[in-house]
Each structure stands twice: as structure tokens, then as C-alpha cells.
């Protein structure tokens, strides 16, 4: 085991990918000489050179489009988009090109591109750089959408994504970057098809992903002190959802709280809650509860930002309500 951080785990995943396959290239704004906006690619330019670690112009549409074309031509591009809001500038390339070519070509053209982007709030970056747009991409057929919440997934999701012949979008929560812990020296590729039960329980299921997984784990600790046993499920992959794992947990606990950092309306949390109601209605002993970000642009002021985002106390209150 080695002491590391989420940021370093992401970097090692990139390093391993670049070292293991000459077709892999990393491209994006400031990924090279600057070492990445969040220092994830620090040192990779010096190790692999400017042909493999490519600083791009400030045009998401251009470099995402170039990566899609390169992927169709046999390259294995990893695109880094600085923050999720900037991905909107490449939405046409991702949704109308990367996600559709396999279908429109009758299965002849694959687009093996991996698009990484930093997501989430909690860092006082205000309304324009604090979005959680995972639900937009999880809505699109043709994309696989994943969200690493642990060191193992931060290190290993990239390898599995690169092995996929079709486009994969990875959401890396910025608030997790300094998270430290132990990671096995032989940590490698991880399964992208299964959700994970991160804590077992009997009274209520807490479902989340990304940074809010840790909010749920904190809430589960607080609930345990009150004698409430909470099971915590990490979605990991947002499209396609691993419904069997979610539904099996709810069937055991008979109650569910879905926690989502995105806005409540039309989000991943709504999809998960609907699926639980559709498939395990007769197992439920209480309505499915949802905890989400308030329906406001994320404030800059730190106390207002905290008030807008789901906190452990909010999850505890929701869980107590459904258990009661």
C-alpha cells in the first residue's frame, strides 16, 4: 500500500496509460507545460514529450472534435476539459458526433475517445465554474458516463475506459483532488459495469456518487450513533446505471435516500428515485427521499455555497424521516 491522493491517483492512471500504449495521447488546455489546471498532468510532458501530451488552443469545440477524428483514425485520445461548464462549448461534438457515429454508420465506426472533466462545487468558484452536469451526459445514448469517488476508481477507471471502443466521459470532482488515503501498489483497471456497496446496513439505503458519496458515508456514521443502520451505495457509473445493485440494496433495507449534487429537477437523483419506485415499489416502507443542491446558481460566498449544497446533516434528516 502507498499513501497517495485522488489527484496523484488520477496522474498515475494517466502515466500508466501513456506508458502502456503508444496510441494514447493526452490533450487539453494547459495539460502540458503548466501541468494541468488542477496539477493532474504535472510531469507528464517531461516524461512523454509534446507529441503525446498536447497543449491545445482555447477552443473546446476544436480540440474535442480533433480528438474524435483521431479516435476514428486509430488513436486513443484522452481529452481533458478544464471544468465541466467549458464542456458546453463542445456539446455538439460530443452529442452529435462522438455519441452517434456508431449508430449512424450501422456499427462500422467506433469512437474510442475518453473525455475527462472536473466537476462539482464547494471551492468558491461561483456560479459559472461549480456545475454538476453529469445528468446532461448521462441522458445521451452512445456515451458511457462514470464518476470516480475513491482512490481505486480514480486510478483504475481510465484504463477500463480506454479499452472501451466507444466514448466514455469521466467526471472527476474537484473537491476530491486533495483526498488522501492508501492505494494498493498493484491497483489497476476497475469494473465500470457495477455499482459498489461502500457500507453495509439494514435500515435505509443511501445512494450517491462522486464527492457526495463521502457526504453519505459521513451521514451513515452519524446515523449509526443513533442506532440507524445505513447502507451506502456508490453508483460509480451513471450511464448505464447498475440497477440490480441499487434495487437489491433497497429490497434489503426497504427505504431509500438518493443524494445528488446536481439540481433536483431532472437530475440523476430523479432517475434513480424513479427506478426504485418502478421496480421495488412493494418493497418500500416509506417514500423515496431525495437530497439535492438548491435550485439556485451556486453562490460565491462560502456560507451560502455550503447552504446550497447537500450536507451530511441534510442526508441524516432525510434518512431519519424515512426510517421514522
Active centre residues (catalytic): 60, 129
What single string gives the DSSP state of each residue in 176-209? GTT-EEEE-TT-----SS--EEEE--SSEEEEE-
Non-local (6+) Cβ contacts of 161 within 8 A are 114, 144, 146, 168, 170, 192
Q: Which residues pair with 76 in a beta bridge?
A: 24
Q: How far is CA 258 from CA 173, 207, 209, 211, in A?
A: 18, 5, 10, 14
Angle at 13 between CA 11 and CA 19, to 5 degrees: 100
Give CA–CA dist 308/124, Å, rounded: 12
For residue 218, count CB atoms less than 10 angstroms from its CB and return exposed for 0-12, middle for 13-18, buried for 19 or more. middle
Strand partners, 116: 80, 170
**Rounded CA gap, 7 and 42, in Å?**
10
The neighbour count for residue 271, using CB atoms within 10 Å, is: 18
Amino acid at each position: 500500500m502507498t499513501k497517495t491522493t485522488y489527484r496523484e491517483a488520477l496522474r498515475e492512471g494517466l502515466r500508466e496509460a501513456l506508458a502502456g500504449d503508444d496510441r494514447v495521447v493526452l490533450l487539453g488546455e494547459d495539460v502540458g507545460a503548466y501541468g494541468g489546471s488542477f496539477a493532474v498532468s504535472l510531469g507528464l510532458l517531461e516524461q512523454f514529450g509534446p507529441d503525446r501530451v498536447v497543449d491545445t488552443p482555447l477552443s473546446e469545440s476544436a480540440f474535442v472534435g480533433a480528438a474524435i477524428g483521431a479516435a476514428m483514425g486509430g488513436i486513443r485520445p484522452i481529452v481533458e476539459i478544464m471544468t465541466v461548464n467549458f464542456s458546453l462549448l463542445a456539446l455538439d461534438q460530443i452529442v452529435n458526433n462522438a455519441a452517434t457515429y456508431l449508430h449512424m454508420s450501422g456499427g462500422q465506426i467506433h469512437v474510442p475517445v475518453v473525455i475527462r472533466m472536473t466537476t462539482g462545487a464547494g471551492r468558491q468558484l461561483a456560479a459559472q465554474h461549480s456545475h454538476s452536469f453529469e445528468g446532461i451526459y448521462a441522458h445521451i445514448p452512445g456515451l458511457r458516463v462514470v464518476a470516480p469517488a475513491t482512490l481505486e476508481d480514480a486510478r483504475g477507471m481510465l484504463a477500463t475506459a480506454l479499452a472501451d471502443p466507444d466514448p466514455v466521459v469521466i467526471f472527476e470532482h474537484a473537491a476530491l483532488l486533495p483526498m488522501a488515503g492508501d492505494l494498493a501498489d498493484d491497483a489497476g483497471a476497475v469494473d465500470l459495469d457495477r455499482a459498489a456497496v461502500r457500507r453495509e446496513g439494514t435500515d435505509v439505503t443511501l445512494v450517491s456518487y462522486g464527492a457526495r458519496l463521502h457526504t453519505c458515508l459521513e451521514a451513515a456514521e452519524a446515523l449509526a450513533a443513533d442506532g440507524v443502520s445505513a447502507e451506502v451505495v456508490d453508483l460509480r457509473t451513471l450511464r448505464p446505471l447498475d440497477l440490480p445493485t441499487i434495487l437489491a440494496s433497497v429490497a434489503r433495507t426497504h427505504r431509500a435516500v438518493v443524494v445528488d449534487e446536481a439540481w433536483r429537477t431532472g437530475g440523476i437523483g430523479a432517475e434513480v428515485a424513479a427506478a426504485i419506485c418502478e421496480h421495488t415499489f412493494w418493497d418500500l416502507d416509506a417514500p423515496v427521499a431525495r437530497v439535492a443542491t438548491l435550485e439556485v446558481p451556486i453562490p460565491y460566498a462560502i456560507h451560502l455555497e455550503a447552504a446550497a449544497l447537500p450536507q451530511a446533516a441534510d442526508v441524516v434528516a432525510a434518512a431519519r424521516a424515512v426510517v421514522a
